Structure 1
């Protein structure tokens, strides 16, 4: 049976005790601290620990999850079990209830300090579509694509919390048929619907993290919008990868969903052919049955299925560290654009408008090739929880503002 909390309404909306995601919140005039979402409330873990109800090692009276994330899997498991007990056993209600705050009364901040940021390119549908849109010569997938999770390094300093305004970036771009580039605001601003995971426990330099050690190092998952200026990206990515076309902004959701909460969502990933090299092989299925939804100005634009991703999170982590690069607490790894086989499953405007040639029409009749100033993009996701319940990853949102 599904575990039931005494918190009223907590089984509705995906923030039940099967989830218990962590975040950083602040009331007006107060210092930020760690909280857990339950229903439409935030459980103040700093106050809960001060009251002696959870173990206090100064994890929670902090404006970042990093201190708790580095504590490791035994601490994560113990705290999750304790919170489940406190929120389901009626005998604890009188002591716990005073530390519940309506989420509407707090501000949700960036949940962790980002150490490094890398973004993968792990959807075969997205990779093939992008190659066809860009009219690249030869086969859509390069020979290495099905042999390793391809990625680029992003900029950690521009990973912003959900709700941060997105200033339209400027830079060099050269339109088709033009001999010389020009400088100005991006004319092809895009979103990318992605899912990321954050490392908690570091690893040693010179030693990779095997796929089987994923749970020992990774704290949880967030939603990611990898904002992209396609015109800047296309001009600069010759021959190296993305730089200014990506580094101006990346948005993440405020709640970090623990790995343990997504165990019921694990499914078999797509068949990988050719078989991966030994360091990329997994002994258990690590596809995730996450159902993403992208909204532009409140209207559904796409529903990308994360279960279609070719490379899985443990494979991404193993590849990112196989050369001996050590993990640091707060390292963020994003999946790359999540796309499926149908048009309404494409996870970015590049695909949805087929490079601007086939404008996307929203329910209100407005059309988009790329994002316009004033557009608000929201990405949200749900996953199956224990015993038929549903859990939510919340949402990540951002509104485009004119170039400065």
Structure 2
């Protein structure tokens, strides 16, 4: 699906797009924004501007087949139309923003991104978090089960659990430290704020067209049901999780907040950055037939570099920038996005437009590539030391975490995802509960 919209030499008459770190003409990610406090509307990021799709459609600049789908406050109608509609929109917007169409610049509704409020790109009906980062799964397993870090099902089943869509927030929204039950040693548990708050470096997979209840999505078709990718930080309270996760798994330790970057980088934009799936080590089982497709194995992975950075309250007060503390890549996922979609629907579960799948924490084998503080600090036993002399075992109030991602390939323009950013606020007081 690589075409003229991916040409590395393509330029836009929007000057800030040319050489932009995240949003050059070759990207054109989809999102929902509120300009100047007005009602949310669909848009496309181009450099430091946002192209207003609702106004664009009203001006007759978009094909009739997709115009109505982008005139509402969410992207769900467009996502439901599937990849053909996404390709049509991409081609239309690319033509309008290309350098040789600069004589039409005055006709197009552009907003300065810095004056706009970003919203969730879609109404998220279902959120599922997978556990597909095998390095992370192995590292965490060693902390709790040194002799048996990976359970027998891991290399057969894309492990996942259902999360909480209502607590997903766009980048820039602060998160509150959660309260919960915590048990240390052999003492009785106590209720209070989490002491081991952590981030998780993940990708968010957006579902486009869904499937009917009872009708699985074949692995050969699963990629066509993926609308695009965002960055995702699935915040975790490790001490709450350690007490509550057996026998049913994550609950209050995870459902209090998930942060996503607000732009959906479409599957079309990611076409030049497809990659072969990681080779399974000798002795690992082959995926079962319903999860195995030759084309998906050859190009179903994504070449995305990821960075996590931290700024403490003291750093912010001193005017010091965020400090990068880990670097990893999507190539360390044991399962492809298509395999996650195929497995999720294999029992007949109906995925719907706007559903979100998290990949699970993505860690690289090297220590500087660990995607969580749980791994980096070895469960808090080996704190990291920051440039200003502060130490961190886990996150403290006032810490701001920023996740960024980038795709690069020789011959193509590099693209990014924007930021996945949030600051940790203190835990709510028990007296702050809503009145009955």
How big is the shift at 1:92? Answer: 5.5
How big is the shift at 1:216? Answer: 2.4
Once residues 190 and 101 of structure 2 are traced to their aligned partners in structure 1, the CA distance between those partners, rounded to angstroms, is 68
CA-to-partner distance for each residue in 1:345-379, whole Å, 9 max, x for gaps? Answer: 00111011110011011222211000000000010
CA-to-partner distance for each residue in 1:10-38, whole Å, 9 max, x for gaps? Answer: 12213112110001111223111011011
Aligned residue number for residue 289 of structure 2: 278
Check whether the contact 1:154–1:247 (CA below 8 A) recurs between aligned residues.
yes
Once residues 249 and 120 of structure 1 are traced to their aligned partners in structure 2, the CA distance between those partners, rounded to angstroms, is 16
Once residues 237 and 29 of structure 1 are traced to their aligned partners in structure 2, the CA distance between those partners, rounded to angstroms, is 41
Aligned residue pairs total 402
For 1:21-60, list aligned pairs within 5 A.
Answer: 21-56=29-64, 57-60=67-70
Check whether the contact 1:300–1:362 (CA below 8 A) recurs between aligned residues.
no
Task: Tell me whether 1:307 sits opposite 2:331 in the alignment.
Answer: yes
Task: Tell me whether 1:91 sits opposite 2:105 in the alignment.
Answer: no
Task: Tell me whether 1:229 sits opposite 2:240 in the alignment.
Answer: no
How big is the shift at 1:9? Answer: 2.8
Once residues 97 and 371 of structure 1 are traced to their aligned partners in structure 2, the CA distance between those partners, rounded to angstroms, is 47
Unpaired runs of 5+ residues, structure 2, are: 1-6, 312-321, 429-436
Check whether the contact 1:87–1:93 (CA below 8 A) recurs between aligned residues.
no
Check whether the contact 1:73–1:215 (CA below 8 A) recurs between aligned residues.
no
Aligned residue number for residue 130 of structure 2: 120
Task: Tell me whether 1:20 sits opposite 2:31 in the alignment.
Answer: no
Aligned residue number for residue 18 of structure 2: 11
Check whether the contact 1:18–1:385 (CA below 8 A) recurs between aligned residues.
no
3-state SS of paired residue (2:203): strand
CA-to-partner distance for each residue in 1:303-336, whole Å, 9 max, x for gaps? Answer: 1111111111001111111001011111110100
Q: CA separation of 1:217/1:29 partners in 2, compared to 1, >3 Å: closer, same or farther?
A: same
Unpaired runs of 5+ residues, structure 1, are: none
Greater mean alpha carbon deviation, residues 56-65 or residues 328-337: 56-65
What TM-score comes out, normalization by structure 2 length? Answer: 0.89
3-state SS of paired residue (2:269): helix
Q: Of the candidates 351, 374, 382, which is equivalent to residue 375 of structure 2?
A: 351
Aligned residue number for residue 256 of structure 2: 248
Aligned residue number for residue 330 of structure 1: 354
How big is the shift at 1:58? Answer: 2.2
Check whether the contact 1:261–1:385 (CA below 8 A) recurs between aligned residues.
no
Aligned residue number for residue 143 of structure 1: 152
3-state SS of paired residue (2:307): strand
Greater mean alpha carbon deviation, residues 371-380 or residues 152-161: 152-161
Task: Tell me whether 1:340 sits opposite 2:364 in the alignment.
Answer: yes
CA-to-partner distance for each residue in 1:185-242, whole Å, 9 max, x for gaps? Answer: 0000001010011112120111211222133211111110000000110100111210
Greater mean alpha carbon deviation, residues 284-293 or residues 332-341: 284-293
Once residues 50 and 12 of structure 2 are traced to their aligned partners in structure 1, the CA distance between those partners, rounded to angstroms, is 14
What TM-score comes out, normalization by structure 1 length? Answer: 0.96
3-state SS of paired residue (1:279): helix
Once residues 83 and 258 of structure 2 are traced to their aligned partners in structure 1, the CA distance between those partners, rounded to angstroms, is 27
3-state SS of paired residue (2:69): coil
Q: CA separation of 1:249/1:48 partners in 2, compared to 1, >3 Å: closer, same or farther?
A: same
For 1:145-294, list aligned pairs within 5 A.
Answer: 145-175=154-184, 177-272=185-280, 273-284=284-295, 285-294=299-308
Once residues 305 and 96 of structure 1 are traced to their aligned partners in structure 2, the CA distance between those partners, rounded to angstroms, is 40
How big is the shift at 1:89? Answer: 5.2
Greater mean alpha carbon deviation, residues 315-324 or residues 5-14: 5-14
3-state SS of paired residue (2:239): helix
Check whether the contact 2:56–2:108 (CA below 8 A) recurs between aligned residues.
no
3-state SS of paired residue (1:80): helix
CA-atom RMSD in angstroms = 1.5
3-state SS of paired residue (1:245): coil
3-state SS of paired residue (1:211): coil
| Moved >6 Å (runs of 4+) | none
How big is the shift at 1:98? Answer: 4.0
